[in-house]
Amino acid sequence: MASVSVSHMILFIASMLVAASVAGVFTDTVGQLSNAIDDQGLQVSQDVRTDVEIISDSGSSNVYDDAANNITLHVKNTGSETLPADPSAVNVFVDGRFETNVNVSLYGEGPNWRPGSVLKLVIDRSDDPLNSNTDHRVKVVVNGDEEVFEFRT
């Protein structure tokens, strides 16, 4: 009889070890899933609070400067998120081409692009001037929010 209870005891201990291992794996997996959901929620929250509008006048002759070969746009932060006034925070495409030579300056005080503030974008096109009497598109992407501006040179 002693051998039966020893074998039962060994099986009981082995089953407890397996159950503890499975519980540990489930706990770790649930923790990782919870962290991923928190990270995704924060990103979605920032995307929802980010909203910008291009407020330049498409009919104005001040959008494209033929002599300097640059495009000047004014973009207003109409969302509730304070954004960095930095060229790396703004992605710009002109006629489908990603632009890397973009300068930004903020109207108003401070280094941050606060809600209600206007950012001036100057896109240097000296390496590829725009053709005159043609339609052009500028796409501005900030924190996932996309705005398109169409104008004629």
Q: Per residue in 69-118, pLDDT tens? A: 999 999 999 988 888 888 888 999 999 999 999 999 998 777 889 999 99
Count the domains in the chain: 2
Q: Mark 112-143 as b/e (b = at least 16 C-beta within 10 Å).
A: ebeeebbbebebebeeeebeeeeebebbbebb
Same domain, 72 and 136: yes
- Judged against a pLDDT cut of 70, whether residue 40 lies above it is answered with no
Same domain, 24 and 73: no
Given a contact cutoff of 8 angstroms between Cβ atoms, the answer to whether 83 and 92 are in contact is no
What pLDDT is stored for residue 94 in this prediction? 95
CATH, residue 75: 2.60.40
pTM of the model: 0.68
Same domain, 37 and 56: no
Q: What values do phi and psi take at 143, rounded to 5? A: 55, 35
CA dist 80 and 48 (Å) reads 9
- Judged against a pLDDT cut of 90, whether residue 124 lies above it is answered with yes
Alpha helices in 1-153 (DSSP H): 2-49
Q: Mark 67-84 as b/e (b = at least 16 C-beta within 10 Å).
A: eeebbbbbbbbebebebe
What pLDDT is stored for residue 25 in this prediction? 82
State which residues form the domain around 72: 52-152
